[in-house]
Amino acid sequence: MIKLSHHFSFTSDQSINAVKTCIACAIGLVIAKGFHIEMGQWILMSIMVVMASQVHLGGARQKAYLRVLGTLAGAVVGGIALYFFAHSQIMTSVILLIACLMFAYIAGGENGVPGTLGGATVIMILMNDPPNPRVIYMRPLEIILGIMIALVVSRFVFPIHATKRLIDNFVVSLEALKKLYEHIQDFQGSVDDAAQISPRAEEKLLNLFLAQRKLLDEARSESQGKKLHLKLKNMLKAERRLYRSILLMNYALYSNPRSTTIIKALASYQNLNAEVIQGLQMLSSKMQQHDSNLVVCGDFEVLTALTNDIQKIAADHPFEVELNVEAFLVATQFLLHELKELTLAVNELSAA
């Protein structure tokens, strides 16, 4: 049995959205009863479909657009069928089956809502016995009315923006990246074990990246123009490249026990770690505090110092060690470059 006390919070997005959905349904119910709307249930059903599963304003807008599109498409197909073949049950049945085939195919796509709603609308129109032409225009009107109520409430009653949640998610992923990097530097073991240094941290990051993709798509419907959406997209791309560079550096660092010992013994290597960890912390703090001041991360001077120190020592070791060390330096250069690119993307977003 689920204990609601462990899941319910009056301040959570889920709880706020539930209250907003209830308010919208109350408005829809008053309108449906007050104006004696014949199929008023579709107003409330549209509100539930648009709001209940879409916590963010951007998601609600997307769902509303797709629902209107599907309903209108189904109404058009059903209306054409009744206009030309109202007295032919065979023809209306054939058109119904063809429409079901077409809308089912659309429903199987990435954005399948129009297909599902289009198919449902055609079925409602053509399966009435006798066919009721009022359904052709009443269903779209009632659904659009429900959608308008849902969008107004989503926009003006405790709005929950996907853009803000995306930035919050980004801050969490920066902290996770920092922890992953710290795990890698503190690790003691073989290259085989290094591949599984922190599976939980990696799994958390992958889940965060997946959530970011959905939030970015929703934020596009509510962001202040294409430029802001592009900056958000560039920031997330830079973050993923930084993640890949950390994994590459992990493999290069532990590819050979002798080269690992050489690298970790250097003071310049510790300076590199401090630069990366401090950089990630600065970016996280900047995003949390909405700081508009520019930050600078990814100082290549630490790489120059590390390269000089390594080259002095590696020359006295076998070729295999030299090769591993060079691979580590390349991975480090890639890491610092991506950290700098991420910093630029964050600075651009803060300036927007």
- C-alpha separations of 127 from 82, 135, 136 in Å: 11, 11, 12
- Are 127 and 198 in the same domain? no
How confident is the model at residue 7, as a pLDDT?
52
- Are 253 and 148 in the same domain? no
Residue 225: is its pLDDT beyond 90?
no
How confident is the model at residue 19, as a pLDDT?
94
- Are 150 and 167 in the same domain? no
Percent of the chain past pLDDT 90, that is, above it, reads 45
Amino acid of residue 48: M
In a domain, 304, yes or no: yes
Residue 313: is its pLDDT beyond 80?
no
d(CA 222, CA 105): 29
Residue 217: is its pLDDT beyond 80?
yes
- Are 102 and 64 in the same domain? yes
Weakest-pLDDT range from 5-9, 153-157, 234-238, 291-295 = 5-9
Residue 336: is its pLDDT beyond 60?
yes
- Are 311 and 180 in the same domain? yes
- Are 50 and 146 in the same domain? yes
Whether the CB-CB separation of 209 and 144 falls below 8 Å is answered with: no
Which residue has better confidence, 87 or 213?
A: 213
- Are 181 and 128 in the same domain? no
How confident is the model at residue 187, as a pLDDT?
75
Kindly state the tokens that stand for 190. Answer: 């073989």
Residue with tokens 């950290």, as numbered in its chain: 339
pLDDT-based confidence at residue 224 (cuts at 50, 70, 90): low
When pLDDT is averaged across residues 190-198 and rounded to a whole number, the result is: 59
- Are 171 and 217 in the same domain? yes
How confident is the model at residue 28, as a pLDDT?
96
d(CA 290, CA 167): 10
How confident is the model at residue 294, as a pLDDT?
67
Check which CATH number belongs to the domain holding 332 and give it.
1.20.58
Residue 267: is its pLDDT beyond 70?
yes
Tally the domains of the chain: 2
Listed residues 156, 180, 207: the one ending a domain: 156
How confident is the model at residue 50, as a pLDDT?
92
pLDDT-based confidence at residue 175 (cuts at 50, 70, 90): very high
Among residues 214, 229, 245, which one has the least CA distance to residue 348? Answer: 229
How confident is the model at residue 47, as a pLDDT?
95
Which residue has better confidence, 227 or 214?
A: 214
In a domain, 8, yes or no: no
- Are 215 and 292 in the same domain? yes
How confident is the model at residue 10, as a pLDDT?
58
DSSP E strands: which ranges in the chain?
none
- Are 147 and 44 in the same domain? yes
Indicate the SS3 state at residue 205.
helix
The runs of H, that is alpha helices, within 52-161 are 57-85, 89-107, 113-126, 134-156
In a domain, 5, yes or no: no
In the chain, what is the straight-line distance between the N-terminal and C-terminal CA atoms, in Å? 47
| pLDDT tens, position by position, 113-159 | 899 999 999 998 898 777 677 878 888 899 999 999 999 999 999 99
In a domain, 7, yes or no: no
- Are 148 and 169 in the same domain? no
Kindly state the tokens that stand for 296. Answer: 């600078």
How confident is the model at residue 2, as a pLDDT?
45
In a domain, 4, yes or no: no
In a domain, 6, yes or no: no
pTM over 0.85: no
* Three-state DSSP string of 269-324: HHHHHHHHHHHHHHHHHHHHHCCCCCCCCCCCHHHHHHHHHHHHHHCCCCHHHHHH
- Residue 284 sits in which domain range? 162-351
Mean pLDDT of the chain: 86
**Residue 233: its H or E element:** helix 226-253
Among residues 90, 99, 157, 101, which one has the least CA distance to residue 123? Answer: 99
- Are 144 and 179 in the same domain? no
When pLDDT is averaged across residues 253-258 and rounded to a whole number, the result is: 83
Listed residues 140, 156, 172: the one ending a domain: 156
| pLDDT tens, position by position, 41-58 | 999 999 999 998 889 999
Omega into 130 within 30° of 0, i.e. cis?
A: yes
In a domain, 310, yes or no: yes
When pLDDT is averaged across residues 240-266 and rounded to a whole number, the result is: 87
In a domain, 285, yes or no: yes
Listed residues 136, 156, 176: the one ending a domain: 156
pLDDT-based confidence at residue 237 (cuts at 50, 70, 90): very high
Residue 192: is its pLDDT beyond 70?
no
